[in-house]
Amino acid sequence: MLFNSLIFWSFLPGFLLLYFATKGTARLWVCLAGSYLFYGWWDWRFLGLIILLTGFNYWCGLKISAVESGSLERKRYVGLSVVCSLVILGFFKYFNFFIDSFAGISGALGFGFNSGTMSIILPVGISFYTFQTMSYTIDLYRKQVEVERSLLKFSVFVGFFPQLVAGPIVRARDFMPQLQTDRVVEWEDIRRGTNLILWGFVLKVLMADNLAVTVDRAFQDPTAVSGLYLLIGVVFYAFQIYGDFAGYSLIAIGLARIMGFHFNVNFNRPYLATSFSDFWQRWHISLSSWLRDYLYIPLGGNRQGATRTKINLMLTMLLGGLWHGAAWTFVAWGALHGTYLILQRVLADSASRLLSVSLCRFLGWVSVFSGVLLAWVFFRAQNFGEAFLIIEKIVTLDGFEPSTILRKFFFLKGALLIVAVFGFEWLSTRIDFDALARRYGVLNYLYIVSVLLLLSLFGMFEGGAFIYFQF
């Protein structure tokens, strides 16, 4: 089910009714059944995969907690959990990618290798729930979380529908304690949750899906459009993917909040970042913090000298790129971000010595935004040829005339929506709208009515899937 589909909004009231009508174990069963129904609606056969991963990691968790810390057996069980999760993820997501890449390399070296690719369907959300289960067993091994002895609670932790298919990746240490007691839902949870959901829909249905019209046209055949239109397409894509993914996260966090669960924010106005490390503290926070805690820091982080730090940064970003999809363009996207982070480490000190703080911040913002745009070209393009063609046409100012802008009404609408949404987000860094709405209830009504009317007037209700479902 998609959050922006009629079927989801038919499912949700019935689910919430049952959720609030029950308590204790019954409520957890409602949660689990609802979550499996939500996921199974897409393809019930892949429920088996979630159940398998849940059961296996639950068993590993019990085993890890049963043996003494520091013992080899404890290491074996956590290793088994991580390896099995990665093997499953690797098979469904990367099997064809590695086979094709191997065939390409062996072909280039003169060895014939006939790669018969298998038709493997990528289960929705597999990257998210495998990372979630891995974090549980690793945290358990590190004694940062208590073992969960209830299979039902552990199953809800893995399969909880609001964040099951596209995150945020919730850590066991944050979520598990909340499953131990019945959540008491206060008025504030409903108010805040509703507001988050509505803003999520603004980002997705109002902004991202409208921008998609221009973006799809630009990337559909870059040879047929001008450099100016491609530049617009790239800029719009930056905001489309933000709206799409941040929108999903907000809806997920809002739904969880209505049910009484508190999840951390996943996006914090990333395009206002003034350095690349700042960007990664604002963009897909649950993934970047996961990569930091379970990859970058175990690799040595910044504790083993400058060169090793740079290698660790690059490795983390390369794997972060590969996490998004089985294609070299995603690896290139990660490599670019890794390079940015390394360059920032090299240049930041000199820049801060030579330039004033405000100029430094401004130049930082400009370079972060431009660098992120460049990286999005590789993220969105089908292949390297297409990415380089887009960059070439933009850099050489090919056809930079306003008359080359196609579907001008969608361009104008998109541009206005970006200004409006980001104007509001920028304002919200100066004015605490939530505190105002909490204090003056009428403002909250005004917000809800305005958002719903805007959605009705300008939203795209074609049921466009969320971009991050493919990851």
Partner 1 sequence: MKFSTLRRLFASFVILVVLLFSADRFGSYALDLVVKQSGFRFSELYAGGNSAEIVILGNSRAVNAFYAPDLEKKLGRSVFHLGYNGMSTELCEAIIFDYLDHNKKPSLIILEVTNLGVSNDLIKDIKLYAGLSTRLRSLIQREDPQLNRACAFTHLYRYNSELFLRTLFYTGKSDQAWINSGNIDPDFAINFVPSEEEQSQNLYPITGSNWKALQRLVVKCAAEGIELRLVASPYLPAFRNNLALYDSWVDTFHASLPEADLFYDYTQSLTDSEYFADTLHINRKGSRALLDAMIQDGVFNSESL
Task: Name the region of 125 (left: φ>0; alpha: ψ -120 to 50; beta: rest).
Answer: left
Q: Which of the residues 354 through 383 are near partner 1 (CB under 8 A)? A: none
Binds partner 1 (CB under 8 A): choice among 52, 83, 449, 465: 449
In DSSP notation, 270-295 reads GGG-SSHHHHHTTSSHHHHHHHIIII
Residue 326: partners with Cβ closer than 8 Å, 6 or more residues away: 93, 94, 96, 97
Choice from 24, 114, 119, 187 touching partner 1 (CB under 8 A) = 187
Identify each DSSP E strand in 309-406 by its residue range: none
# residues contacting partner 1 (CB under 8 A): 22
Residue 184 near partner 1 by CB under 8 A: yes
Q: How many helices (H) and strands (E) does the chain have?
A: 21, 0
> Would you count residue 185 as binding partner 1 (CB under 8 A)?
yes
Q: What six digits make up the tokens of 233?
A: 């397409």
**270: preceding bond cis by omega (within 30 degrees):** no
Would residue 262 show up in a list of annotated catalytic residues for this protein? no
Angle, helix 328-354 to helix 306-324, in steps of 10 degrees: 140
Indicate whether 221 belongs to the interface with partner 1 (CB under 8 A). Answer: no
Instruction: Say whether residue 445 binds partner 1 (CB under 8 A).
Output: yes
Determine if 458 is a binding residue for partner 1 (CB under 8 A).
Answer: yes
Amino acid found at 224: A
Comparing C-alpha atoms, which of 262, 265, 257, 301 is closest to residue 283?
265
The answer to the question of residue 181 lying near partner 1 (CB under 8 A) is no
With binding defined as CB under 8 A, does residue 412 bind partner 1? yes
Among positions 17, 87, 461, 470, the unique one binding partner 1 when judged by CB under 8 A: 461
Interface residue with partner 1, options 34, 125, 168, 459 (CB under 8 A): 459
Shortest CB 388 distance to partner 1, Å: 21
Residue 92 contacts residue 120 (beta carbons within 8 Å): yes
Peptide bond into 168 cis (omega under 30): yes
Closest separation between CB of residue 407 and partner 1, Å?
9
**Residues in contact with partner 1, shown as a per-residue x/- string from 3 to 42 under the rule CB under 8 A:** ---x-------------x----------------------
Q: Which of 262, 284, 324, 337 is catalytic?
A: 324
Least CB distance from residue 469 to partner 1, whole Å? Answer: 23
Which position among 365, 410, 433, 469 is part of the footprint of partner 1 (CB under 8 A)? Answer: 410
Angle among Cα 153, 158, 162 to the nearest 5 degrees reads 105
Provide the binding-site residues for partner 1, judged by CB under 8 A.
Answer: 6, 20, 184-187, 190, 403, 409-410, 412-413, 445, 448-449, 452-453, 456-459, 461
Q: Which residues are catalytic?
A: 324
